[in-house]
Amino acid sequence: MRTLALLLAVLAWPAQGAWQWSAPLTVNSVQGAAIFPHLESANRRGVAVSGDTVGVVWEDNRSGSPQCYLATKSAAAANFQQEIRLSQSDCYEPVVIALGAGRFVAAWEEAGKVHARVLPGGATLKLSDIEAAQITLAADGDTIYAAWAEQAGRFRRIVVARLMLKADELDVKTVQPVEAAMPSDEQGWPALALAGDGSVTVAWEDRRNRHTVPMVSHSPDGSGFAAPERLTDHMSGSVDGLGAGTGAMRPALAAWGEQGIAAVWLDKRDFLSGYDVYAAFDTGTRRFGKNVGVQDSFGDNMAQWHALIVGAADGSLVALWDDARDGTPDVWLSDWEGEAFGDNVAVPGAAGPGQQSDPVATLDAAGSLHVVWLDRDEAAGTRIRYARAKRK
Amino acid sequence: MKKYLLWIGLLFAAATAWADPPPGYPFVDYNAGLAAARASGKPIFLYFGRYGCAWCDHTNKKTFSDPALKKLYSDHYVLVYVDSESGRRVTLPSGERITEAELGVRLNAFATPLFVYLTPAGEKIVQIPGFKTVQDFRDYDRYVRGGHYKQQTLLEFLGGKS
């Protein structure tokens, strides 16, 4: 078995050489056996690079209740600065995007409503008056969009807002549900991406078909959205009158190339091996095409979790997730190679003994990949870890 | 009275909107179940299902429709239903707050239904994936409430029968 593992490691070596990684750093300044940090968020937007500053957001319970935090690190600094707290009451699922020149916008759920704030400086703006959660953000220059899941009758539905930036303050320009009709079942976990042509794409998980299906809708300018379509090309339904279909959840989007949008999600179409990561591409037609499996055959029999995708205008596209194919959870990535995803590569520092999971990531303007993950240790507490990679 | 019935209807509608536990059983959510188990000293039977799951539906119709099994499990367990794709928040015995979907990650759930037996303190005794028969659930009940899990694995207890 050991020989086989060694052989597989040797075979995988060329793929590991695609990225050159920095030594991992710890982001959170407070850890402990009873402190539980989380990087969960809609579209997994937990890290952003603004100018030469990296910003990381998360939630933990160090104060006795769940609160959201932001830590930053400039390129010249050896370590992250001590984090600042973003929230006053129970806070969940924070996200962060870059505005440039070291400025960020963070958003989060607090006390059952969604909020956003420009950092540094800036005042917190409450974006919803009714119950809302699972907010995410996307920006192209000063054009900022937010999407969240908002209570509408018995269920939540997806709402998209355009935000206006004035100096360090945000204002809400428009807020609209993706669909005018009241939801017939639960919607949640929206993902947003702004393409190079200024169009807005929103994807979310949706239960209108009595099982969970990722849906997607586009708007040419954010003022009105097309009728939703399925992201999945796998049409499942009840079997011999049982159930309603297989599940697929937690879609994530990324702008990619000049006008493209890429999507990944967790998909249980092979229901005996847990969720797999699937992807689909919109090359600028505003329609997503054939679904593509992301994990390689070594990961096919394992459950994948916490998938996301990051892209850049130069056409770079990287999918990340965690799975336990080597015995314990590790963070994996795969580059899109034009026709298919490449070999799965374990992120050094986020692989090996112990539990490394829950990646969030971004590509910066220079093409460097910034990855943040959880490194769990039940005795010492969970560390939030960060590493940067450059292409060789 | 009318208002009372309306509230019951709304609660039932909310429950069915989230997931598909077997009808007629007193399933509650994870947090309520853990609190009830601590108070009552009963073990927890956790049904980890998925919205629209065909094998869950099959198990509900074929197995959980048995009246004697319903009485056995309703009387002796705190029944907890978790929706494997839900963002609903649960608090683990450690104090960590995660979502129901994340509980699937922690349980390394690769298929639904998944049945997990827990002590009244919320510690895992055994987890069993897939469709099971009435007799299977009777065997698991003997294993759990008989305390055999303290000395034997489930396979040892069942004499090698899976």
Nearest CA-CA distance, residue A248 and chain B, Å: 9
Please indicate, yes or no, if residue A153 is contained in any of the structural domains.
yes
Q: Which CATH superfamily is domain B26-157 in?
A: Glutaredoxin (3.40.30.10)
Check if the beta carbon of residue A229 is closer than 8 Å to that of residue A255.
no
CB-CB neighbors (< 8 A) of A324 in chain B: 108
**Cβ distance of A247 and B84 shorter than 8 Å:** yes
Check if the beta carbon of residue A248 is closer than 8 Å to that of residue A278.
yes
Domain span holding position A372: 37-228+242-391
CA distance B130 to B115: 8
pLDDT tens by residue, chain A, 392 residues: 444 444 444 334 444 458 999 999 999 999 999 999 999 999 999 999 999 999 999 999 999 999 999 999 999 999 999 999 999 999 999 999 999 999 999 999 999 999 999 999 999 999 999 999 999 999 988 889 999 999 999 999 999 999 999 999 999 999 999 999 999 999 999 999 999 999 999 999 999 999 999 999 999 999 899 999 999 999 888 888 999 999 999 999 999 999 999 999 999 998 888 999 999 999 999 999 999 999 999 998 899 999 999 999 999 999 999 999 999 999 999 999 999 999 999 999 999 999 999 999 999 999 999 999 999 998 899 999 999 999 98
Check if the beta carbon of residue A334 is closer than 8 Å to that of residue A343.
yes
Of B85, B96, B108, the CB nearest to A303: B108
Closest CA to B125 of B67, B54, B46: B46
Give the residue-averaged pLDDT of B8-36. Answer: 72
Give the residue-averaged pLDDT of B67-82. Answer: 98
Q: What per-residue confidence (pLDDT) applies to A17?
A: 56
Give the residue-averaged pLDDT of B127-151. Answer: 97
Burial A239-255 (b: 16+ CB within 10 A, else e): eeebbbbbbbbbbbbbb
Please indicate, yes or no, if residue A322 is contained in any of the structural domains.
yes
Please indicate, yes or no, if residue A372 is contained in any of the structural domains.
yes
Closest CA to A268 of A308, A303, A216: A303
Can you tell me whether residue B5 is helix, strand or coil? helix
Which position has the higher pLDDT, B6 or A110? A110
CB-CB neighbors (< 8 A) of B89 in chain A: 92
Nearest CA-CA distance, residue B146 and chain A, Å: 31
Please indicate, yes or no, if residue A26 is contained in any of the structural domains.
no
CA distance A114 to A329: 31
Residue of B nearest to A355 (CA): B106
**Cβ distance of A245 and B52 shorter than 8 Å:** yes
Give the residue-averaged pLDDT of B116-137. Answer: 98
Of A211, A238, A306, the CB nearest to B51: A211
Q: What per-residue confidence (pLDDT) applies to B147?
A: 97
Nearest CA-CA distance, residue A4 and chain B, Å: 25
Structure tokens of B5?
């019935």
CB proximity under 8 Å: A 292-351 to B: 303, 305-306, 324
The maximal CA–CA distance of chain B, rounded, in angstroms, is 54
Domain tally, chain A: 1
Does position B45 have pLDDT exceeding 70, yes or no?
yes
The dihedrals phi and psi of A107, each to the nearest 5 degrees, come to: -145, 155
Residue written as token pair 């590991």: A16
CA distance A264 to A214: 10
Cβ neighbours for A245, distance < 8 A, ≥ 6 positions apart: A209, A210, A211, A213, A236, A237, A238, B52
Check if the beta carbon of residue A266 is closer than 8 Å to that of residue A252.
no
Other beta carbons within 10 Å of A182:
11
CB-CB neighbors (< 8 A) of A205 in chain B: 85
Does position B5 have pLDDT exceeding 70, yes or no?
no
Q: Which of B97, B98, B102, B131 to mutate to test the interface with A (most CBs of A within 10 A)?
A: B97
Query: Cα(first)–Cα(last) distance of chain A, in Å?
Result: 32
**Cβ distance of B111 and A242 shorter than 8 Å:** no
Give the residue-averaged pLDDT of B89-101. Answer: 97
CA distance B78 to B43: 6
Q: Which of A68, A114, A212, A236 to mutate to test the interface with B (most CBs of B within 10 A)?
A: A212
Give the residue-averaged pLDDT of B53-73. Answer: 97
Instruction: Give strand ranges (E) for chain B.
Output: 44-49, 78-83, 89-91, 97-99, 114-118, 124-129
CA dist list (Å): B79 to A34, A315, B21, B74: 27, 50, 10, 7
CB proximity under 8 Å: A 189-228 to B: 189, 205, 207, 209-212
CB proximity under 8 Å: B 63-122 to A: 84-85, 87, 89, 94-99, 101-102, 105, 108-112
**B156 burial level (CB within 10 Å; 0-12, 13-18, 19+):** exposed
Other beta carbons within 10 Å of A280:
23
Check if the beta carbon of residue A132 is closer than 8 Å to that of residue A149.
yes
Please indicate, yes or no, if residue A17 is contained in any of the structural domains.
no
Closest CA to A199 of A97, A285, A312: A285
Q: What per-residue confidence (pLDDT) applies to B161?
A: 58
Name the pairing type of β-strands A19-21 and A317-323: unpaired
Can you tell me whether residue B125 is helix, strand or coil? strand
Please indicate, yes or no, if residue A16 is contained in any of the structural domains.
no
Closest CA to A48 of A95, A110, A85: A95
CB proximity under 8 Å: A 257-296 to B: 268, 271-274
Query: What is the CATH number for A331?
Result: 2.120.10.10
Structure tokens of B150?
């303290």
Q: What per-residue confidence (pLDDT) applies to B118?
A: 98
Can you tell me whether residue A254 is helix, strand or coil? strand
